[in-house]
A and B are shown apart, each in its own frame.
Chain A
């Protein structure tokens, strides 16, 4: 029987609070021993915190700088916007403070950031498009890395009314209230306006996003849900020819693998 390692656990919990909590820096910086005492640390451990005060605070900087590369890599325009507004560090602080980074996979920091924006609403009073912009930026990274699928056999190359559409696994049928695809480093604030995009990875492995009409988006949504081409067009009052043409072009681009 192994004793529960209570002292080790208390010490790790205390350091986690210092590293992650938004007020960790100010509280610990003001009085490390009291910080430890509030977390039921032994007296000698409280003294050790005080002794290593500045170096323990260095760990807090290290945790933040470890996010400095991956987050702006995945969210260049979100980062550009918040950096320009002097809010990037505050955003990272709030994100860390929420303890939303749970997966042991480093790459999961990116989707955790989007999920945290959605759940917390952080910054969205001032920038109502923020979540949608970050979501679209993440989608590109997700699509580029999406697991490859085994090749499909017995698929037709021509769309027909009574066939089902087999999409590439990377296809995302997206709807936004902002023109997120027009954001750039110089102009990271997308204009308001209903935006429908079909995003996917093409045959060369590159990210692609095609702008869709609302009708085309609704049609593809039905096809993605498993309706036959003809049924999907009929349900929307869409001319079948238009639907077939769209699917044919998406097949040529690699977003549609074929028809069955």
Chain B
């Protein structure tokens, strides 16, 4: 079953790549898209001009794109500016992105923006607040809204529930789709000592419409795995993607995120190709030993 408000049968599948500034000129000059789709942050494009902007627009006109926002402070309290919402709506219509995603976190408070993905308290009150904000944003958007699970390094305040329960309750309460960031699950499992597969097993995987996958780094001085998006994806995260895909039971699109130490386009495309292979193997019914392609998730 597809949750209400999320599309089914979109043409997006396979492994896409986040479109980044250093690659724009090269990608724009290509005859055809080198990836099944790109992902782009609308707020980095709207209201801009000049050479790079022209390159972005050329690429968006030619290639399929998914949109992913970084700035709505979904779990926060600050009101969304009218022109920000108007610009976002216009961009979503122009690009025909099938959905739009944001992180389930907060970034700004009292008008001051930290531009950091900050953790929500895992409380009943914060569940209700997140549901309210998700519904408010959904009502403003012309396409279904998905939220993304974030990497969190600390609990904010005394938790009344687990992160897993928190996410599941917001997903159900807001009745929205899920952008499952598989690397964030892995990073959290390392930092908070839980088993990533066990964590995923009880989750509402039927709500997943897209995956994120990325690299991270271990910081010795902080004794923390930080979600840097600054390195290639490691094998355990690829394996986790392969484990979850058949359990989702649909060929949902996977997006490779790279935001720091961005390599040459060729290198990134080679990483994408390797991930695509792993994706195809995971979704090949003959090679799946899990629940098969029946379409429903476990648990």
Q: Which residues of A contact B (CB under 8 A)?
A: 2-3, 5-9, 11-13, 15-16, 19-20, 41-42, 44-45, 47-49, 52, 54-56, 58-59, 61-63, 66, 99, 101-107, 109, 144-148, 201, 205
Contacts and interface: CB of A to CB of B under 8 A. Distances in A.
Interface residues of B, number: 50
Given A3-B128, A44-B158, A59-B118, A146 B44 contact: no
A85 B80 CA distance: 39
Contacts of A62: 116, 226
Closest 8 CB pairs of A and B: A205-B51, A52-B154, A99-B112, A44-B158, A55-B154, A104-B71, A147-B49, A148-B49
Interface string B107-124: 111111111101011010
A61 B112 CA distance: 17
A59 B155 CA distance: 12
B84 interface: yes
B157 interface: yes
Contacts, number: 142
Interface string B219-253: 00010101000000000000000000000000000
A86 B285 CA distance: 60
A200 to B, nearest CB: 12
B98 to A, nearest CB: 23
A106 B115 contact: yes
A7 B114 contact: no
Contacts of B54: 148, 205
Nearest to B126: A8
Contacts of B268: none
A15 B156 contact: yes
Given A7-B121, A99-B112, A109-B115, 18 more contacts: A5-B77, A5-B128, A7-B157, A13-B110, A15-B118, A48-B155, A48-B157, A55-B153, A55-B222, A56-B154, A99-B111, A101-B112, A101-B113, A105-B71, A144-B51, A145-B48, A148-B49, A148-B54
A148 B154 CA distance: 44
B120 to A, nearest CB: 8
A94 B273 CA distance: 45
A112 to B, nearest CB: 9
A63 B116 contact: yes
A144 B50 CA distance: 6
A45 B156 CA distance: 8
Interface string B85-118: 0000000000000000000001111111111101
B112 A145 contact: no
B183 interface: no
Contacts of B126: 5, 8
Nearest to B224: A58
Contact of B123 (A7, A58, A109, A201): A7
